[in-house]
Amino acid sequence: MAPLWTHPSPHLIRLDAFRRHINKQYNEHIRDYASLHRWSVENLELFYRELWNFSGLVTSKPPLAVADSLAAMWPRPQWFPGAEMNFTENVLATGLAAHQDMIAVSACREGGTDWRHLTWIQLRDQVALYASALQNAGIGKGDRVATVVTNSLEALLIALASGAIGAIFSSTSPDTGPKGIVERFSQIQPKILFVESNVLYATKRRNLRERLGAAVDELKTKVTGLDKVIVINDPTWEKSGLYVDELPDDKSDKAIISSPIYSRLRVNDLTFNASSESALKRSSKPLLDLSSSFKYLLIIPSTSYSLQSSWGLFVLEEKNPADTHLLPMNSSGTTGTPKCICHSGGAVLLKNKLDLGLGMDMGIDSTYYQYTTTFDHQTGWMMWNMLIGALSLGSRIVLYDGSPLHPTPSFQLSLLESQGVTHWGTSPKFLAGLRSDPESSPIARRLEGLQNVLVSGSPLSTSLSAWFYADNFPQHVGLHNGSGGTDLVGGIVGGNNLSPVFGSELAAATLGMKVEIWNAGGENVEGSGELGELVITKPFVSMPVKFWGDDSTGRRYFDTYFSLFPGVWSHGDLISKSSVTGGYSIHGRSDGVLNPGGTDGCSIFRALPVVLIRVRFGTAELYDVVSRFREIEDSIVVGQRVRRCQQNGESDIEDERVVMFIKMKSPGAALDTSLQSRVSEAIRKTLSARHVPEEIWQVKDIPCTVNGKKIEKVVRAIISGEKVTSRDSIANPECLDEYVKFSMPGKLLARL
C-alpha cells in the first residue's frame, strides 16, 4: 500500500535529530519511528530524562530523579520529584530568549476583524499587569481563578497571570448553561470569577447576562469564598485593565455585581510587586544536564537566564513542585456531574513539547492556529490549552473568536495564508465543510507555508483524506489524524513527521505511550487486527494528579481508568491496528460499541457458534461511509436496546439493534426511501450486511458537546427509554426532544 504522504525532508526535523541523539548517546541503531517508539517504552526512565533535557524547562530547584518509581501505573508515580518551577515563566521563557521583539500572539474577531498583536515583551508586560491586579484583589498561591470567557486575549492573559502567581486557573465556555457552570465551579470553589456578558457568533450578538446572572446567584450559595465577579463586556485589547470600565446602564449587569461581596477591579487599582532575589536562585548541580549534545534542537534559555531582566515590572516569586496540580480541566459531563481532572503544570508542558515540539516539529519559527470546533467560544477543552503549550516552544499563536463559517468556510484558509500559519489544528467536520465550499481548493493550493494539519475531535474519514491530497492542498503538507483526550492533555496515537500517512489511519503511538489493544478477557490482540479496548500498560508523564474532591484513596480516579483492567489504563476507545501499515483506527467509544444480535438467546441462532452471530463494531466506520454522501450534513449511530419475541413466541429477550439518524444538508430536504436504500447498500458493500442499520431516520440536528463531539451515549439512553437529566454540557440540547419519539420502552418487536 502506497502512503498518501511522507515528509519531504525528514533529516531536517527535530524528531529525527532526537533519533540521532539517542543513537549516539546510548549506542543504539534506531532507523525509523517504530524503533524509536519501541526504545522509548522499553527505556521509560531514559526516555523521560532525554525529554526533560529537550524541553529546556526552567526550574529554581532541579529534579532529584525522573520518578519515584515506574514499576506500576497505580498508584500514580510522582514525576521529577524535587523540581520546582513556575508555569508561566516556562510558557514565556523560550520566546523571550529567542526573539523578544517578534509577535507572540495575534488575536482577531469573527471574519478577521479587530486584529491585535502582542510581541513577547508586550505579552510579558500584560501578563505582569494582570498578575499584579489579581494579587491586589487578594488572589494568591493555591487560590482558584475561574472564567467563563471566549477564545480572546483576555482568556490567555488571565490564564498566564494565574500561573505567574501560583493560582489555579479553570475555564469553561460561554456556551455552558447555568447548571453546567455551577457544577464545574462549585467543585473547585473559586475566589474570583470572570464572565463575558456578550459574545459574537455567526454575526449575531448574544446577550448572556440573564444566564450568567442565574449562575452567579446559585454560585453565591455554594461557593463561600467567591469574593469578586468581574464582568467583561467586550475584549479589552486596547485598554490596560481587566474589563471595560464603562458598563451599560443595564439592571442585569448590575445585578451580577450589586452584592457587597462582588466588586470590579479598576485600572487604577493595579499595583506591581517588588523584585525578589529569591526568585533568581539557580542550583549549580542539576540532575538533568541541559548541556546535552542535542541542545541545538530548540533555542532554549540558558541556565543563567535572568528572570529579573526578563520580567521587568514583575518578578515571578511563586514556584510550585513540577508535579503538582495547576490546571484543572472538566470532562464533558454528558452523563453526570463533570469530573474535575487536575493536571500537573510541568507535566502538561512536557507533554505539549513532546506532541508539538517533537511530533509536529513546532518551534520558534512556527505559527500555530488551533480552531477547535464550530463552537469557538470553548476555552475549557484541552486543545485550547495546547495553544499555551505552543507558546512554551517559542511559537507564535493565533486566537480566533467567532464562527469559522463566516462569511464562508474558505475564509479560514485565507486566514492561514495571511497570517503565515505553519501548523493548523482543525476537525474532520470542518474539513468536510471545506470540501463542500467551491472557493476552498484554489486558496488551499496556495498554502505553501503550511507544514502540518492536526485533525482531532473525531475520526477522520478515508474520503476526506483522499480529498485533501487530491490536488486540494500542497503535497508537502502532513495531514495528521490524532486521538488523545482531556484526561492526559495530549495524544495517545496519531501522526508525526517521521511516519507516513496511510488513508485515515492514525500513524503510530506517541513516544513514551505503551499502547496495547485488549479484548474483554484482557488479552493483547494488537497483532491480529481485531477490535479491542485501547489500553496503556506503562506510566506516562501526563497522567492526572488527581480528581478534585476525590477521597483519600483516589477511588473515582481508579474507577475511571483502572477498574476495567486493574493496573492498566483503559481509555474508553475501541481501536484496531493494521498488520500491514502499523497504523491505528479508532472505531468510536468502547462504551458505544455496536453489538446487533448480541444476545444468543434467540432460538433461531442457538445451533450456530456465537462467533457467527455476533458482530462487534464501532460507529466510526459507519460515519466514514455516510460522509461520502454530499446531500447528508451529519449523522449519528447508536445501539437501541429492545425486546424481541422468541421464535416460539412464549417470551421475549433483550436485544440490541443499530439505528442511524441523519441530518440533511439542505434545509427542507427529505430523507426519502431512495436515499435510505443507497446508504444501506453503501454500508453493505463497504462493510457487511451486519453493519447495516435496522432503521434510518431523519432528524433536524445531531446533538454534540461544545467540543463538537457527537453524544452517542445520551441518544442511546433516550431512544432506549431512559431519562436524561443533565443537558447543560450539550451545545444544542433542544434537539434532544426530537429523539424521544423514537423511544420504544416496553414495545415488543418481532424477531429478526
Q: With bands split at pLDDT 50, 70 and 90, how would you rate the model's confidence at 737?
A: very high
Strand 192-196 versus strand 228-232 pairing type: parallel
> What is the rounded distance in angstroms from the CA atom of residue 468 to the CA atom of residue 479?
8
- Domain ranges within the chain, ordered by starting residue: 114-269, 593-749
Strand, helix or coil for residue 722:
coil
Angle between helix axes 87-99 and 345-352 (nearest 10 degrees) is 40
Q: Is the dihedral of CA 237, 139, 63, 307 positive or negative?
A: positive
- Find residue 535's DSSP bridge partners: 516, 570
Q: 390-409 burial by CB neighbour count: b if 16+ within 10 A, else e?
A: bbbbbbbbbbbbbbbbbebb
Low-confidence winner among 161-170, 405-414, 643-652 (lowest mean pLDDT): 643-652
pLDDT of 697 over the 80 cut: yes
Q: What is the topology classification, in CATH, of domain 114-269?
A: Rossmann fold (3.40.50)
How high is the pLDDT of residue 316? 47
How high is the pLDDT of residue 432? 86
Q: How large is the average pLDDT for residues 681-701?
A: 91
Residue 18 C-alpha cell reads as 532526537
Residue 647 C-alpha cell reads as 421464535
Backbone angles phi, psi at 699, to 5 degrees: -135, 165
Q: Give the DSSP H/E element, type plus range, for residue 171.
A: strand 168-172
Angle between helix axes 44-55 and 33-42 (nearest 10 degrees) is 110
Strand, helix or coil for residue 198:
strand
- Provide the 8-state DSSP code for 506: B
> What is the rounded distance in angstroms from the CA atom of residue 298 to the CA atom of residue 698?
52
Q: How large is the average pLDDT for residues 657-662?
A: 95
Tens-place pLDDT, residues 380-421: 567 888 999 999 999 999 999 988 888 888 999 999 999 999
> What is the rounded distance in angstroms from the CA atom of residue 24 to the CA atom of residue 262?
60
Q: 303-336 burial by CB neighbour count: b if 16+ within 10 A, else e?
A: bebebeebbeebbbbbbbbbbbbbbbbbbbbbbe
Q: With bands split at pLDDT 50, 70 and 90, how would you rate the model's confidence at 73?
A: very high
C-beta of residue 743 within 8 angstroms of C-beta of residue 352: no
433 CB neighbour count, 10 Å cutoff = 20
Low-confidence winner among 101-110, 284-293, 547-556 (lowest mean pLDDT): 284-293
> What is the rounded distance in angstroms from the CA atom of residue 464 to the CA atom of residue 624?
9
130 CB neighbour count, 10 Å cutoff = 26
Tens-place pLDDT, residues 291-340: 232 222 332 222 322 333 333 334 444 677 777 756 788 776 555 577 89
Burial (0-12, 13-18, 19+ Cβ within 10 Å), 690: middle
Domain 593-749 has CATH 3.30.300.30: yes
How high is the pLDDT of residue 70? 97
> What is the rounded distance in angstroms from the CA atom of residue 199 to the CA atom of residue 208?
8
pTM: 0.79
> What DSSP letter does each residue of 659-692 carry, written as one string?
EEEEEESSTT----HHHHHHHHHHHHHHT-GGGS
Angle between helix axes 178-188 and 209-222 (nearest 10 degrees) is 30
Strand, helix or coil for residue 581:
coil
Low-confidence winner among 19-23, 460-464, 654-658, 734-738 (lowest mean pLDDT): 654-658
Q: With bands split at pLDDT 50, 70 and 90, how would you rate the model's confidence at 199?
A: confident
- Find residue 248's DSSP bridge partners: none
More confident residue, 69 or 643: 69
> What is the rounded distance in angstroms from the CA atom of residue 195 to the CA atom of residue 208?
9
How high is the pLDDT of residue 585? 92
> What is the rounded distance in angstroms from the CA atom of residue 608 to the CA atom of residue 588?
28
How high is the pLDDT of residue 274? 29
Percent of the chain clearing pLDDT 90 (strictly above) = 53
Q: Closest by alpha carbon to 382, among 730, 707, 143, 158?
A: 707
Q: Closest by alpha carbon to 327, among 559, 560, 171, 140?
A: 171
How high is the pLDDT of residue 713? 84
Q: Closest by alpha carbon to 381, among 422, 349, 345, 333?
A: 333
Q: With bands split at pLDDT 50, 70 and 90, how would you rate the model's confidence at 672?
A: very high
> What DSSP letter does each residue of 346-367 carry, written as one string?
HHHHHHHIIIIIIIS---TT-E
Tens-place pLDDT, residues 575-615: 999 999 999 998 877 777 787 864 333 322 223 222 333 45
749 CB neighbour count, 10 Å cutoff = 15
Q: How large is the average pLDDT for residues 254-260?
A: 32
How high is the pLDDT of residue 383? 83
More confident residue, 420 or 619: 420
pLDDT of 242 over the 90 cut: no
pLDDT of 32 over the 90 cut: yes
Give me the half-sphere count of Cα atoms (radius 13 Å) on the Cβ side of residue 17. Answer: 15
How high is the pLDDT of residue 615? 57
Q: With bands split at pLDDT 50, 70 and 90, how would you rate the model's confidence at 347?
A: very high
| Cα radius of gyration (the chain) | 26
> What is the rounded distance in angstroms from the CA atom of residue 420 to the CA atom of residue 235?
24
C-beta of residue 531 within 8 angstroms of C-beta of residue 576: yes
> What is the rounded distance in angstroms from the CA atom of residue 275 to the CA atom of residue 271?
13
More confident residue, 471 or 232: 471
Mean pLDDT of the chain: 81
Strand, helix or coil for residue 88:
helix
45 CB neighbour count, 10 Å cutoff = 11
> What is the rounded distance in angstroms from the CA atom of residue 631 to the CA atom of residue 346?
47
Backbone angles phi, psi at 168, to 5 degrees: -110, 120
Q: How large is the average pLDDT for residues 467-492?
A: 94
Q: 642-680 burial by CB neighbour count: b if 16+ within 10 A, else e?
A: bebeeeeeeeeeebbbbbbbbbbeeeeeebeeebbeebb
pLDDT of 751 over the 60 cut: no
Q: Where are the alpha helices (DSSP H) in 361-500?
A: 382-391, 411-419, 428-435, 440-444, 462-469
Q: What angle do CA 476, 383, 265 make, to 5 degrees?
A: 135
* Most confidently predicted of 91-105, 403-417, 426-440: 91-105
Tens-place pLDDT, residues 7-31: 999 999 999 999 999 999 999 999 9
Q: How large is the average pLDDT for residues 469-488?
A: 94
pLDDT of 251 over the 60 cut: no
Tens-place pLDDT, residues 110-148: 889 889 999 999 999 999 888 988 888 889 999 999 999
| Phi/psi-derived region of residue 420, left when phi > 0, alpha when psi is between -120 and 50, beta in every other case | left
Q: How large is the average pLDDT for residues 507-535?
A: 93
C-beta of residue 338 within 8 angstroms of C-beta of residue 171: no
- Listed in sequence order, the residues at least 6 apart from 272 whose beta carbon sits closer than 8 Å to its beta carbon are 128, 132, 313, 314
